[in-house]
Amino acid sequence: MRAIWKGAVSFGLVNVPVRLFSATENHDVQFRQVHVKDGGRIRYQRVCSIDGEEVPYSDIAKGYETADGQMVVLTDEEMKTLPSRSSKEISIEKFVPADQIDPLVFDRSYYLEPDKTGLKPYVLLRDALEKADRMALVTVSIRTRMTLAVLRVREGVIVLQTLLWADEVRKPEFDFLSEDTHATDKELAMASSLVDSLAGDYEPEEFEDDYSEAVEALVASKIEGGEIKEAPAARAEETEVVDLLAALQRSVDKAKAAKSGGTSTSEIRKETEAAEEPAQPAERTSSAKKTTARKAAAKAPAKTSAAKQTATKKSTTKKAAAKRKAS
């Protein structure tokens, strides 16, 4: 186990250096939400409910919703002004009878382990708690908020159990409580007989978590049968930074080519702008192709006419030379 907190128990004028360990752990079956098609993990994005935009962590603040549905935004600076405690002291306020603490208010449980230098006062506090048959009511700040807790002894170790605040326990308000209904003497006698027939000691080893065992068996059988989804690596999300760097790299490469006697600077600019422009609609693209074709057709007759004139000149020259030879 790894200690999650270090401090000391203040017992009168005595300080007991201790380390705090979680006394419980959750073995509940944990499932992941996946795409049934390929087994890929499902992602959740932080999206604003008003503008629909994804919100980065840097733009997220704490909000307090009022009873009428309005939202009060609290900044980090304002949160720092709230009362908080970072004391490393477990301060014993009083020793109370154990039967005065309703188990309903128990929250989290932790083991206290003494430092080597605090073993003697730790044992003294432990033995005093057992002899008095009382719980020590304490205040402690495990993270930042102060909370109430009790110290009691379990199997030779002092246990710290945090308590819920009084207003965190709901009051039972049910209609049947207002009705004056009670069991008859005969019914109560029969119920008492049933209780006696089922009387026994609490032995947690008698009971097993059959749901977890069934899930593990099901998973094992699917693994043996080769029913495993080998999900490919998640696709990296493209960002504006990556696109900007790619555009800059293209510009640098083209600039180098122009410097070495290739493309001109104006052509580089045109090519870069063309690469960054979105694809044109089909109608506009078709229109552009037709315009280009008409221009090419307009230039073609001029070239053909020039070629004919050159051929005519050559033919006339040859005929004149033939007449000179004949004469």
Q: What is the CATH number of the domain that holds 63?
A: 2.40.290.10
Is 305 domain-assigned? no
Is 90 domain-assigned? yes
Percent of the chain at pLDDT exceeding 70 = 69
Bridge-based pairing of strands 62-65 and 157-163 is unpaired
What pLDDT sits at residue 193? Answer: 93
What pLDDT sits at residue 208? Answer: 83
What pLDDT sits at residue 244? Answer: 53
Chain centre distance of CA 286? 48
Report yes or no: 209 and 27 within 8 Å, Cβ to Cβ. Answer: yes
Distances (CA, A) of 322 to 310, 315, 319: 19, 11, 5
Is 311 domain-assigned? no
What pLDDT sits at residue 156? Answer: 94
Is 63 domain-assigned? yes
Query: Residue with structure tokens 């710290």?
Result: 160
Distance between CA 91 and CA 148 in Å, rounded? 10
Distance between CA 18 and CA 10 in Å, rounded? 11
Closest CA to 224 of 233, 216, 232: 216
What pLDDT sits at residue 325? Answer: 47
Is 49 domain-assigned? yes
What pLDDT sits at residue 314? Answer: 46
What pLDDT sits at residue 271? Answer: 52
Helix axes of 240-259 and 265-276: crossing angle, nearest 10 degrees: 160
Residue 140, domain extent: 5-27+35-166
∠ CA 226-230-233, nearest 5°, is: 175
Is 124 domain-assigned? yes
Report yes or no: 102 and 172 within 8 Å, Cβ to Cβ. Answer: no
Closest CA to 112 of 165, 164, 150: 150
Alpha-carbon dihedral 251, 253, 258, 263, rounded to 10 degrees: -80
Distances (CA, A) of 135 to 130, 131, 138: 9, 11, 9
Is 300 domain-assigned? no
Positions of the chain with pLDDT lower than 50, given as ranges? 238-242, 264-265, 268, 272-273, 275-314, 316-321, 323, 325-327
Tally the domains of the chain.
Answer: 1
Phi, psi of 261 (to 5 degrees): 100, 15
Distances (CA, A) of 175 to 168, 178, 179: 22, 6, 7
What pLDDT sits at residue 232? Answer: 65
- Residue 55 tokens read as 């919100």
The pTM of the whole model exceeds 0.85 = no
What pLDDT sits at residue 236? Answer: 57
Is 203 domain-assigned? no
What pLDDT sits at residue 289? Answer: 44
What pLDDT sits at residue 252? Answer: 67
Q: What is the 3-state secondary structure (H, E, C) of the chain?
A: CCCCEEEEEEECCEEEEEEEEECCCCCCCCCCCECCCCCCECCCCCECCCCCCECCHHHCCEEEECCCCCEEEECHHHHHCCCCCCCCEEEEEEEEEHHHCCHHHEEEEEEEEECHHHHHHHHHHHHHHHHHCEEEEEEECCCCCCEEEEEEEECCEEEEEEECCHHHCCCCCCHHHHCCCCCCHHHHHHHHHHHHHCCCCCCHHHCCCHHHHHHHHHHHHHHHCCCCCCCCCCCCCCCHHHHHHHHHHHHHHHHHHHHCCCCCHHHHHHHHHHHHCCCCCHHHHHHHHHHHHHHHHHHHHHHHHHHHHHHHHHHHHHHHHHHHHHC
Bridge-based pairing of strands 106-114 and 134-140 is unpaired
